[in-house]
């Protein structure tokens, strides 16, 4: 199997995924949950169920024109609004009671804008620090290799790619299924950063071993052999993670749905990255192909022909 030799095809594939991500993010964007955008979520259960449209209309009439109303079960509604004060919440509940009869409040959730912007900032810092931390860790772990920094940088580029593509796909599917970008999504992303690097490290570890054993004088051959030798392992570990995340998506969902989905997508993309992208980048770097990569990376057939 010659995987590394076809690296520009894989770069093309990942270019397509990135492009898809860019298009989706710029057209659909990401719907922020209230942790990041501030606001209140009130969920109420009516003793006597009413139609969604009737409920929604009442909410609009009460002056909450921008409120998002969801029907979560019969007679159970979730109302998402801007941050509600104590008085606003009390009057909303009493108005609804007056209209629809007794209701019980099953959930209330309110985030101030100060906290929302802080959370957004900290989440961004966390992702950034995680990527830099991995760069440093991989560089140190492989310090005995010539050009250890290249290993670190390639793995982080692969990770960044993983994060970006996962976010892009999340935005695309999120648009269709109404997923929200919340803290559990960020948690999923950070887990991916920490876990999907495992595959890359295993491949790099084998490259280290094969280099020391002097399997071949040709770096590309060493890299390719290492990838081929570890591919079974890479697939199997991602399959086991896929199994449990799928179980989470199917049986739990709820508030950790975005976490499970992010982990599911990121795990697949991450495995692709560590097998096809990160080792390829190493070879590109080793052969000083950057010009070719950047200049004609999107025309691999041509690049390969030369």
Partner 1 sequence: MTRNNRIVLLIILVIFAFTAWIVFPFSGNRLGRNGMRLGLDLVGGVHLVYQAQLSDNYTNADVSAALDRAVLTIQKRIDTYGVTEPIIQKLGADRILVQLPGFTDIEAAKKLVEQTGYLDFREVEKNSTGALVYLKDYFAQPSLQFIDTAETGNRIFVSSVNDNSGKSVDKTVAYLTNDNGVIKLTDGAGNPADNTTLAQYANTPSWIPSRGTDGKQLTGALLSDAQAIMDSSTAVSKPAINIKWNSEGSTIFDQIAARLHNPAGTGGAYSLAYALGIFLDNNLLSAPQMTSASYGGTGTISGSFTLAEAQDMANLLKSGALPIQLAKPPLYQEKVSATLGKEFISMALKAAFIGTLMVMLFMIAYYRLPGLLASLALIFYGTLSLTIFKLIPVTLSLAGLGGFIASLGMAVDANVLIFERMKEELRLGRTLGAAVEAGFHRAWSAIRDSNLTTVLACVILYWLGSTAVASTAVKGFALTLAIGVLISMFTAITVTRTFLRLFVGTSLADKTALFSVGGGKKK
Within residues 54-93, the interface with partner 1 by CB under 8 A covers: 83, 85-86
Residue 76 vs residues 51, 55, 61: alpha-carbon distances, Å: 10, 10, 19
The residue (of 81 and 245) whose beta carbon lies closer to partner 1 is: 245
Residue 7 vs residues 73, 83, 284, 292: alpha-carbon distances, Å: 50, 50, 9, 12
> At closest approach, how far in Å is the CB of 298 from partner 1?
31
| Binder among 191, 210, 216, 221 for partner 1 (CB under 8 A) | 191
Cβ contact 148:142 at 8 Å: yes
| Binder among 157, 190, 215, 298 for partner 1 (CB under 8 A) | 190
Residue 196 vs residues 136, 137, 170, 209, 269: alpha-carbon distances, Å: 16, 14, 17, 21, 9
Please tell me what DSSP assigns to residue 3: S
Cα angle 64-68-73, degrees, rounded to a multiple of 5 = 120
Please tell me what DSSP assigns to residue 99: H
Give the largest Cα separation in the chain, rounded.
Answer: 82
Enumerate residues 196-255 that contact partner 1 by CB under 8 A.
Answer: 197-199, 201-202, 205-206, 209, 228-230, 232-233, 236-237, 239-248, 250-255
Cβ contact 284:294 at 8 Å: no
The residue (of 46 and 134) whose beta carbon lies closer to partner 1 is: 134
Does residue 119 bind partner 1 (CB under 8 A)? yes
The residue (of 20 and 115) whose beta carbon lies closer to partner 1 is: 115
Does residue 2 bind partner 1 (CB under 8 A)? no
> At closest approach, how far in Å is the CB of 4 from partner 1?
16
The residue (of 133 and 146) whose beta carbon lies closer to partner 1 is: 133
Enumerate residues 126-155 that contact partner 1 by CB under 8 A.
Answer: 126, 129-130, 133-134, 137-138, 141
Does residue 117 bind partner 1 (CB under 8 A)? no
| Binder among 107, 146, 212, 287 for partner 1 (CB under 8 A) | 107
Strand 68-73 to 76-81 pairing: antiparallel
Residue 94 vs residues 46, 51, 208: alpha-carbon distances, Å: 12, 19, 68
| Binder among 59, 103, 151, 186 for partner 1 (CB under 8 A) | 186
């Amino acid at each position: 199997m010659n995987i590394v030799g076809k690296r520009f095809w894989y770069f093309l594939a990942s270019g397509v995924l990135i492009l898809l991500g860019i298009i989706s993010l710029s057209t659909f964007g990401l719907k922020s949950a209230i942790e990041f955008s501030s606001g209140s979520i009130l969920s109420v259960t009516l003793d006597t169920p009413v139609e969604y449209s009737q409920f929604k209309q009442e909410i609009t009439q009460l002056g909450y024109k921008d409120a998002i109303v969801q029907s979560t079960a019969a007679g159970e509604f979730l109302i998402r609004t801007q941050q509600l004060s104590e008085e606003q919440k009390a009057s909303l509940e009493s108005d609804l009671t007056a209209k629809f009869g007794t209701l019980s409040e099953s959930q209330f959730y309110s985030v101030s804008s100060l906290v929302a912007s802080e959370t957004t900032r900290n989440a961004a810092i966390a992702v950034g620090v995680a990527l830099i931390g991995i760069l440093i860790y991989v560089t140190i772990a492989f310090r005995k290799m010539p050009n250890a920094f290249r290993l670190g940088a390639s793995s982080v580029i692969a990770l960044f790619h993983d994060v970006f593509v996962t976010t892009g796909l999340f935005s695309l599917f999120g648009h269709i299924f109404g997923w929200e970008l919340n803290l559990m999504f960020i948690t999923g992303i950070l887990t991916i950063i920490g876990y999907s690097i495992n595959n890359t490290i295993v491949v790099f570890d084998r490259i280290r071993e094969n280099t020391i054993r002097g399997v071949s004088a040709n770096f590309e051959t060493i890299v390719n052999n290492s990838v081929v030798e570890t591919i079974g392992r890479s697939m199997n570990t991602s399959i086991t993670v896929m199994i449990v995340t799928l179980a989470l998506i199917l049986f739990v969902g709820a508030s950790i749905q975005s976490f499970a989905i992010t982990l599911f997508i990121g795990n697949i993309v991450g495995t692709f990255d560590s097998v096809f992208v990160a080792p390829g980048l190493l070879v590109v770097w080793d052969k000083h192909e950057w010009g070719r990569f950047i200049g004609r990376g999107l025309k691999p057939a041509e690049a390969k022909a030369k």
